[in-house]
Amino acid sequence: MSRLVLDKGAHPWRDDFRGGVPGKGRSTGLDRAALRTGTALALLLALAGNAARAADQAPAAEQAADKGAGLEEIDVQTILVTANRRLENAQRVGTSIDVVTGSDLVDRNVQNVYDLQYLTPSLQVTPQFGSGQPAYQIRGVGFNDYASNNAPAVGIYVDEVAYPVPFASNGAMFDVSRVEVLRGPQGTLYGRNTTGGAINYIMNKPTKEMTAGVAVQYGSFDAVTSDAFVSGPLNNKLAFRVAGQVQEGGAWQHNRDTGEALGDADRQALRALLDYDSGSNLRVGLNFHWSRDRSDAAGTYLLSPLTALNAKYPSQYPVYPADTARDATGWGTTPQFASEIGISPTTKPFSHIDTVGTSVRADWDFEFATLTDLASFDHATRQEYDNFDGSPRSTGDVYFDTRANVAANELRLTSTGDQDWHWVTGLYYANQVLHDRYATGYYELNGFDRNVTYGQTVNTGSAFGQVTYDLTDKLSLTGGLRLEYEKRELRDFDAFYVNNGVVTNPGNVVPYRDTDFLEPSGKAELQYRFTDDDMAYVSFSRGIKSGGFTAYNSNVAQTSTTPFKPETIFAYEIGNKLAVPEYHLRFNISAFYYDYRDQQVQSAVVNPLTGLVGSIINAPKSHLYGGEADFIWEPIKNLRINESLALAKGSFDEFSTIGTAVKVGGIYVGVPTDRAGETEFAPKFTSNGSVSYLWNLGDYGLTTDMSYSSRSTYNSIFGSLYNVAGYTLVDASMTLAPKDDRWSLKLFGKNIFDKRYDVTRNFFVAGNNIALAGEPATWGMRFSVTY
């Protein structure tokens, strides 16, 4: 990547960027939103109509956009998962796993990755500073960084393809078959190293019969979501599926000065699948996916009064008191910064994330095994403007401009049959190229703006294998190993200041820096089956997360680009999975202990000339422990009770940070702070549950559902002001559907008791204390039709 040089507001990507600047105003009514939605989905609806005519009187779809209330008895169903790269009953997999079905996502109105945490205990998904980049945590293991160049601690996979660029995972969730949330290190069988776990999205596949569906949802704040799909055979060897979604509206925040609304969604997504089955030993699947996001960004509110903040340049704006209204926010920037990034000073915060990609999977069946080759390519861009000071003042205006390409290929061989040995082995390679610019408007504080530009290349290669051997008809032993080599290369890293278009420190450049590692990850597991419905397991695993570079908190390039080391987790787990079919009960329990080495933590280092510099550093030793318990019970016909609980607690064992820097003899010297014994930073308790009942109304069924999600206080590394208080959210819904499930009508409410809560609390500069509030009570209805 050539180094970006600003000249009187010149912006080399501005032509691309201006096309995405959000228009003024917001969605103002159902008719207007529905018109836009109808236009966007016209092609899919036409396909759906043709498919319906072709299907004639075909049976109900095997897979549908929505699952209606139905009249069949609710059952504690067997859920098949691919946690071990083979299709298995989740109750027979020796790892802690939570499965959310596509029907669950629709029933609970989950439309983005952040809502997924309210269905899964021990999972935390937080927007960094309210930005468009999610930070994932499982069992308290995560990575808090709003930069785009470092790998997450939780691996994200879509139909087995890894998404190592965090912002690329922040897409629409539609036409999903299930989501598998795997707790604990999963590096052995998955393409990228992880310490926290993995989230595996499995999308609906082409069907053997022609089927189609359409769903439209309207809710509070003129929020409109429309889905459509069409699926079926083209001939006896080819089948296809096309699905799309449009999201619009939903702005619930407002500018405290002007009253202008903020928070409208403007997203479109499309997925097309084509499957070929030779009928003998070859199957090929082609996947194309595309998404476009032109939504408003989220706004933050002021936790405490916004004062002068020791600014060198007095503000033209008044001192702002702390906000009492959770929907209040503010934005605006200087003409200088606006010119640098190609917007107007009054442009609303926005999050523009585009993705496009394809994958090809081929499976060859042999007598003893199946050979699978999975090749993929994904391109993602992020152009995002956020106001991290929550006001029109220029103390924390930020702009991200990122482009990333990821190409990957996995070749694996998986045993087949019912022999005592079950094994999988393979090779994996991925190449990731990223170009990034990060700009910060600080004019009020020091009279200039800060920019960082760089390019990064990551090459990853690994060999892996796992074997399960049935020692007896009840006892099984599993061993797995992955040896991985990764190299990260940082190029043309430039951290520079801009004052009225003039670069004030042009020599602050690091032309090249790299870091690499060669590390094993793996697992050993012993599994005992008391009966076909009762299994216990004990396991040990070693997980690795890549090292990397601090890219954004930089004012001295040479100091900030010192690489941090990979982190390692030694995980110990024990669990039991029990089903009691005669009582319609399923109960699972697990406990874990993590020995954490070189944990990657946001902190600071000292530059002798400038003082503290934000940096990601390694905490030498820490630990975590906890567990989960969940059950599904149907005490009577058509009544289902679901409850899940999780505990995660830990602390630093060895960790010293630099809290302040003082001048001694004309240079800055750090003052260390011993943080051994401080607690790890995740909610100690999380839980969620639901109660649903299916009422038989003759030719119709009515399903009523009430659910909740609760989490305890989330302690902050920065002190008690930034602790996110615990909260409980309650949702409810009613769904009416006929016997054949051809259509359904759902009425729903989210956060029905209008609980006030925060998603995150932080500060971007000292004294500018901000929080991102959670959404208030919302209500809506959803109508779906399938053919």
pLDDT at 72 (0 to 100): 39
pLDDT of residue 30: 47
* Mean pLDDT across 217-236: 97
Pair 608, 667: CB distance under 8 Å: yes
User: How much is the pLDDT for 563?
Assistant: 92
Phi, psi (degrees; rounded to nearest 5) at 747: -110, 135
What is the distance between the alpha carbons of residues 219 and 614, in angstroms, rounded to a whole number? 42
Query: What's the pLDDT tens digit per position in 734-743?
Result: 999 999 989 9
**How much is the pLDDT for 314?**
60
The yes-or-no verdict on residue 318 having pLDDT over 70 is no
410-464, pLDDT tens digit by residue? 999 999 977 788 999 999 999 999 999 999 888 877 778 888 999 999 999 999 9
Cα–Cα distance for residue pair 639/695, rounded to 1 Å: 9
490-531 pLDDT, tens digit each = 999 998 888 877 888 777 889 999 999 999 999 999 999 999
For 178, 284, 419, 448, the CA distances from 281, given in Å and listed in that order, are: 27, 10, 20, 64
- Whether 166 and 147 have beta carbons less than 8 Å apart is answered as no
Higher pLDDT, 209 or 560: 209
Q: Nearest 5°: phi and psi at 602? A: -70, 120
Enclosing H/E stretch for 193? none
Domains of the chain: 14-786 (2.40.170.20)
What's the mean pLDDT in 148-173?
Answer: 88
Quote the pLDDT of residue 455.
96
Mean pLDDT, rounded, for 14-31: 38
**709 neighbors 118 (Cβ within 8 angstroms):** yes
Contact 211, 232 (CB under 8 A): yes
Matching residue, tokens 């990507």 = 13
pLDDT digit string (tens) for 577-596? Answer: 999 999 999 999 999 999 99
**Confidence band for 25, pLDDT divided at 50, 70 and 90:** very low
Write down the pLDDT at residue 218.
98
Please name the helix (run of DSSP H) or strand (run of DSSP E) that holds residue 8, with its range, or none: none
**CA pair distance 80, 428, nearest whole angstrom:** 25
Model confidence band, residue 745 (pLDDT cutoffs 50, 70, 90): very high
Give the number of other Cβ atoms within 10 Å of residue 720's Cβ. 8
Q: Among residues 140, 112, 97, 156, which one has the least CA distance to residue 626? A: 140
Flag whether pLDDT at 64 surpasses 50: no
- pLDDT computed for residue 20 by the predictor: 36
CA 183 vs. chain centroid, Å, equals: 15
Average pLDDT over residues 687-712: 95
Confidence grade of residue 317 (pLDDT, cut at 50, 70, 90):
low
pLDDT range class, residue 69, cuts 50, 70, 90? very low
- Does position 546 have pLDDT exceeding 60, yes or no? yes
Using DSSP's 3-state secondary structure scheme, residue 94 falls into coil
Indicate the range of 81-90, 223-232, 260-269, 351-360 predicted with least confidence: 81-90
* Ranges 128-132, 263-267, 358-362, 479-483: which has the least confidence: 128-132
CB contact at 8 A, 222 and 250: yes
Beta pairing partners, 494: 453, 509
The DSSP 8-state label assigned to residue 103 in this structure reads H
pTM of the predicted model as reported, rounded to 2 decimal places? 0.88
Q: How high is the pLDDT of residue 393?
A: 84
Residue 291: per-residue pLDDT: 96
On whether the CB atoms of residues 696 and 638 are closer than 8 A, the answer is yes
- Give the Cβ contact number of residue 195 at 10 Å: 33
Determine the Cα–Cα distance for residues 513 and 535; give it in Å rounded to an integer: 49
- Predicted confidence (pLDDT) per residue in 345-391, tens digit: 999 999 999 999 999 999 999 999 999 999 999 999 999 999 988 98
Do 346 and 334 contact (CB within 8 A), yes or no? no
Q: Which amino acid is at 593?
A: Y
Handedness of CA 165, 171, 175, 178 (dihedral sign): positive
Highest mean pLDDT among 42-51, 392-401, 445-454, 535-544: 535-544
Average pLDDT of the segment spanning 151-160: 92
Q: What is the pLDDT of residue 610?
A: 62
Cα–Cα distances in Å, from 32 out to 243, 248, 304, 318, 605?
23, 10, 39, 38, 52
Q: Mean pLDDT throughout 382-407?
A: 92
What mean pLDDT value characterizes the chain?
86
Please determine, for residue 396, whether its predicted confidence score (pLDDT) is greater than 90: no
Give pLDDT, residue 49. 45
Check residues 240 and 171 and name the one with the higher pLDDT. Answer: 240
What is the reported pLDDT for 768?
82
Structure tokens at 154: 């939780």
Mean pLDDT of 688-711: 96
Confidence of residue 667 (pLDDT cuts 50, 70, 90): confident
Does residue 647 sit in helix, strand or coil? strand
